[in-house]
Chains A and B, each alone.
Chain A
Amino acid sequence: MSAVDRPAPAHEIRERFGFWWRSYAMLIKEFIQLKRDRVSFAMIVMLPVMQLLLFGYAINTTPHNLPSAVLLQEDSDLARSILKALENTAYFRFIYEVHDVDDFDNLLKSGKVLFGVEIPRGFERAVRRGDKPALLVAADATDPVAASAALGSLGMVVQTALQHDLYIGDPPAMPFEIRAHARYNPAAVSSLNIVPGLVGTILTMTMLIFTALSVTREVERGTMESLLSMPIKPVEVMFGKIIPYVLVGFVQAFLIISIGVFLFGVPVLGNLFLLALLSTLFITANLAIGYTISTVVQNQLQAMQMSMMFFLPSILLSGFMFPFAGMPAWAQYVGEGLPLTHYIRIVRAIMLKGATMQNLRFDTLALAALMLIAMTIAVTRFRRTLD
């Protein structure tokens, strides 16, 4: 036997449930570190609030005070009424009144106005005769979202104005021609669609970055050497690093949805518990992906870059920015591989349509699968040595 026997240890060692105790040790450590990191801690709250207010208010796709011009080729009461009605909507602000076609074209071309209305000669007479003349509308379509929304609202606004202000024959029939209608979103409230999408987008961004930096930070600070020399397994490190941020993600989701409900009046038609449950799944999937990134990269800069590489397609291809169905097939395939795509469907369906688990089976399974794939890669990629 050994030359000298070591004295019995003063403190007893647990033999059972080692997995849970080691994960717990890691988790406590991560919590303390997060608590000490004041800036990160503040960002947990600041980021969603700021983003939501930006998207909700500033980046409002509903047109508002669009600089507009009118080409007036006939100075009639009807023309004045239409212009007045348009201005009253607050969508348009007529800052130019021109009588020459070239001036009109130049205003649009130079970007001084985004919108132009042309009232042709003999317009009023044609309306009264029932000839259905065209009210010509030109929009600067370089910002398609603003233009199309404004165009969409135009027809309805004009019709309303005519009904109230005019003394013409039979109001129900459209006295002139404007094609665009905003039939399915009469109020054109973009926050209704954006808030649910934002829950997913903000969570993707913050969760990804939190864990993407976690392992590389340990390597860069030199603490990984100690950690690896201790009897902790890759799965335990991963659990310990992911669980604190599940709570963080939960706080963020709660914040965003609360602001959405109370400030923007977004409804939550579905089950809140189901929403919380599936949000947890989504948060964990993102944390697992972030963690996978952190096991692949060499330093924190690379971790940030790689997170962005994942984040951008998430925003563009998930249906958050552009309608999913409108994308080409290959983009849809890529989109299906992103957790955000599935979560945006889930969260929009629950909040706006009151969907149940039955409706969301496919997206839930997809999220779970993506999470498991990421975790498996992370655990196998995690280097147990310094080689």
Chain B
Amino acid sequence: MSGGNGIAIDVKGLSKSFGGREVVHDLSMQVKRGSIYGFLGPNGSGKTTTIRILCGLLTPDSGEGTCLGYDILRDAEKIKRQVGYMTQRFSLYQDLSVRENLEFVARLYGLRDARGAARDMIKRIGLSGREEQLAGELSGGWKQRLALGACTLPNPQLLLLDEPTAGVDPKARRDFWNEIHALAADGLTVLVSTHYMDEAERCHEIAYIAYGHLLAHGTVDEVIAKSALTTYTVTGEDLNSLTAQLTGKPGIDMVAPFGTSLHVSGRDVAALESSIAPWREKASLHWQKSAPSLEDVFIELMGRSKDNFQ
């Protein structure tokens, strides 16, 4: 396959505006074949737009690149044959049954035995016994499985999943991710957008995008390391007033409550430590230096990007 140097997605300088508002700004990214690439960022950050550009649903205003070795601007039709796209909102036919939806997809992609392919997929996604149920009547978790089944049915090289687990219960979420890992083990490349940190940690690589800008990317460990964030975890009494007192102090970029503890983080270690010094000695508080979690890093990135772009 052309461009088969182990890179599934390779795009440079993608930009896209809607009505004068730039939704994606100069975005470049590379995704290795057979890897699971997590796409993170706040709502409205341009994740969906980027995914749509990759599968040819939107034309970028500028930028270039390849997807599975095909030019994203010229070969949209070829890309479509090799890519399975699972939309954020359920977009199969609600008034068609599970079987009819899958057979429709199988026929569109030209599978010789559409009925057989649909039957096999129903078994694989565990929807046996619900073949004749209308898709619109399925629960959220089943809908999501059906949607995944439909986009993997034509045996694609690349899966683009746009917030596939939104509104799905934890058990279904775990099953879903096990399936994604099984597919990736078969050589499928998966680009998945999500809001969940536990899901981000199950990705081989992640990218953080906010307000159209790609702010960080790499493995989870790399992203955490690159953030150069120092975090203290505080436990003790009256954390609420402590939050108020610490917020905005020099060197303190973020104060975030986590259950019964408080995460206090900053990039400038010296400034951070001098700012918290007055509270370090208090007997009612217990301070501990800890590695920042991915969530700390993202919340900090999100806060920073707001300063820059809003």
Which of B87-95, B206-214, B220-228, B272-280 lies at the interface?
B87-95
Find residues 13-41 in chain A having any chain B CB closer than 8 Å to their own CB.
13-15, 18, 21-22, 24-26, 28-29, 32-33, 36-37
> Which one, B57, B83, B94, B103, contacts A228 given CB within 8 A?
B57
* Smallest CB separation, B174 vs chain A (Å): 24
Contact A13 B110 (CB under 8 A): yes
Q: Mark B46-66, 1 if CB is under 8 A from A, else 0.
A: 000000100111110000000
Contact B87 A2 (CB under 8 A): no
Contact A24 B109 (CB under 8 A): no
Closest to B185 in A: A4
B164 part of interface (Cβ distance < 8 Å):
no
A277 part of interface (Cβ distance < 8 Å):
no
Closest to A21 in B: B110
CA distance A21 to B111 in the complex (A): 9
**Which residues of chain A are near B70, meaning CB under 8 Å?**
none
A221 part of interface (Cβ distance < 8 Å):
yes
A142 part of interface (Cβ distance < 8 Å):
no
Contact B32 A386 (CB under 8 A): no
Contact A2 B4 (CB under 8 A): yes
Contact A231 B32 (CB under 8 A): no
CA distance A1 to B8 in the complex (A): 11
Contact B187 A32 (CB under 8 A): no
> Which one, A14, A26, A32, contacts B112 given CB within 8 A?
A14
Contact A231 B80 (CB under 8 A): yes
Contact B4 A230 (CB under 8 A): no
Closest to A5 in B: B187
CA distance A222 to B306 in the complex (A): 31
Contact A29 B96 (CB under 8 A): yes
Size of chain A's interface in residues, with CB distance under 8 A?
41
Contact A2 B108 (CB under 8 A): no
Q: Mark A205-222, 1 if CB is under 8 A from B, else 0.
A: 000000000000000011
**Which residues of chain A are near B90, meaning CB under 8 Å?**
222
* Smallest CB separation, B47 vs chain A (Å): 15
Contact A12 B111 (CB under 8 A): yes
Contact A11-B112, Cβ < 8 Å, known A2-B33, A28-B107: yes
CA distance A115 to B32 in the complex (A): 89
B257 part of interface (Cβ distance < 8 Å):
no
**Which residues of chain A are near B188, meaning CB under 8 Å?**
6
A358 part of interface (Cβ distance < 8 Å):
no
Which applies to chain B's interface (DSSP): helix, strand, loop or mixed? loop
B106 part of interface (Cβ distance < 8 Å):
yes
Point out which of B1, B59, B91 has the most chain A C-beta atoms below 10 A from its C-beta: B91
* Smallest CB separation, B189 vs chain A (Å): 9
Contact B110 A3 (CB under 8 A): no
Contact B58 A385 (CB under 8 A): yes
Contact A387-B34, Cβ < 8 Å, known A7-B186, A12-B112, A221-B94: no
> Which one, A2, A223, A385, contacts B56 given CB within 8 A?
A385
A328 part of interface (Cβ distance < 8 Å):
no
**Which residues of chain B are near A3, meaning CB under 8 Å?**
6, 32-34, 187
> Which one, B6, B59, B92, B111, contacts A387 given CB within 8 A?
B59
Contact A22 B110 (CB under 8 A): yes
* Smallest CB separation, A329 vs chain B (Å): 45
Closest to A384 in B: B76
* Smallest CB separation, A124 vs chain B (Å): 76
Contact A385-B59, Cβ < 8 Å, known A4-B33, A7-B186, A22-B108: yes
Find residues 280-320 in chain A having any chain B CB closer than 8 Å to their own CB.
none
B192 part of interface (Cβ distance < 8 Å):
no
Contact A6-B109, Cβ < 8 Å, known A28-B104, A223-B92, A229-B57: no
* Smallest CB separation, B76 vs chain A (Å): 8
Contact B55 A229 (CB under 8 A): yes
> Which one, B52, B85, B87, contacts A222 given CB within 8 A?
B87
Which of B113-121, B232-240, B292-300 lies at the interface?
B113-121
CA distance A3 to B103 in the complex (A): 31
Contact A225-B87, Cβ < 8 Å, known A4-B34, A11-B113: yes
B81 part of interface (Cβ distance < 8 Å):
yes
A10 part of interface (Cβ distance < 8 Å):
yes
**Which residues of chain A are near B87, meaning CB under 8 Å?**
222, 225-226, 229
Contact A33-B96, Cβ < 8 Å, known A5-B187, A222-B89: yes
* Smallest CB separation, A317 vs chain B (Å): 37
Q: Mark A265-280, 1 if CB is under 8 A from B, else 0.
A: 0000000000000000
Contact B100 A222 (CB under 8 A): no
Point out which of A5, A13, A226 has the most chain B C-beta atoms below 10 A from its C-beta: A226
B157 part of interface (Cβ distance < 8 Å):
yes
Q: Could you jot down 15 A-B contacts, CB within 8 Å?
A: A2-B187, A3-B187, A6-B188, A7-B186, A9-B155, A11-B113, A11-B116, A25-B108, A36-B134, A221-B91, A223-B92, A229-B56, A230-B108, A385-B58, A385-B76
Task: Supply 20 further A-B pairs (C-beta < 8 A) apart from A1-B4, A223-B93, A386-B52.
Answer: A2-B1, A4-B186, A6-B155, A10-B120, A11-B113, A11-B120, A13-B111, A21-B107, A25-B104, A25-B114, A28-B103, A28-B107, A29-B104, A36-B96, A225-B89, A229-B87, A230-B80, A232-B108, A385-B57, A385-B76
